[in-house]
Structure 1
């Protein structure tokens, strides 16, 4: 089995970083793939950097800014591969990223989506965390307790993406991936490999580090709203949907606790998440919330 892969790289003002990403994607030991860069309205010299590669595998598209979900959907619409992989423009692929994906498909030719292991590194390349100790036949059982997946490690059959695209509501941005993963989880087995094939670079400019309290609350409430609208999702998760509520509310509590003006809201969301599920008391996030509330007052 030698599947053709499409790697979609959405980007916005990452001229200083995307070059390393593209070099890592072009340096694959596997050779049956294409790279589609979707420039979501960058105002820097991203286009110049991308076009400097002048490589036959690489296609570049620039569109009006509409956030990452729209950029990913646009890239998927241009894809010719059997499977689409969405890769962030500030991260790195290891040389066996695609060969491991192909190997997994040989063992699971019926897979509609799957996930590969990943690691976190600082800007100097020092790895400080690896996410590669999953257990079980699939990862479906983990998805009610938050998002354990790296977008870089997710591969989805192109035909499935036509039926289930990313939600393009801009206010959902940064949770649009988890919203889609939950929809797919409710419908298809999520196969995986623990082999680490990509590196998330934890730099200060990562979009997830820039959090506005009101927008964060709106985003997580929208996540719940959209999931509740999907009857298949609600039927699949059933009582475990309370874990999704717990995770969302505790996530809000954790990040609001970092700013004094949001302290009381943080406490309210922490109590709300406890009401969703007392399992919260067994998590590291609960104690991190309490620590932040007490120490960073």
Structure 2
């Protein structure tokens, strides 16, 4: 599903009357799509292309139905305030507002690196710290996490994906690791970059991951690693996986808020920004 805007929102984007937008659409100057009810819908990328080709000065802010609630923070890229608002939304279990915030950021040209590294990650670090300090109950932590994950799945459906690059990635979390938000952010980022993504999710036995690596002909293996009960055993399994990746030609990276020993650090990844830097070199 691609990101679409109504005639009213498209008019706001171009700072023109709604009738002007309808005229552009009806004479074929601006691409539009009709719903079953006959309403005009515009793809965001078509609006941006039309503005660029015709040198239109567009609005600094595209509304997504949030009544301008995030306008000043978005225009000023006020990460600190956006973190507070995301935290409030997920702790209240409000999936609609959480997705509304993430979507507002995305259609207003925040990169996924900005959204995931500077806002989502920092918000969840605060949530995790409050839980560890017993200032946040476990049930509220679960509500926040599940609200975020649901909203990330909604965001995934509207991101603009680049042309398929014919590369495949496997994204998984090892057994007993139930932290999915970061792994899902990795999946969405790779999809935006044109990757095919195999996503068995979290809490997957090492044997199952090894079998997938052997059978799937993957170019990249992304392992989420936040909770490590037995580091010695964990590192042993990662080294076995590393050997398997050398055989298959896959690149292995390990992400998450872990504290792996130095002999594993050569293939760790701590951010979406770092991930995008790594995948640029995968041929």
**Structure 1 and Structure 2 fold alike (TM over 0.5):** no
TM-score by length of 1: 0.27
Higher Cα radius of gyration: 2
Higher strand residue share:
1
Of structures 1 and 2, the one with the larger relative CO (CA 8 A, separation 6+) is 1
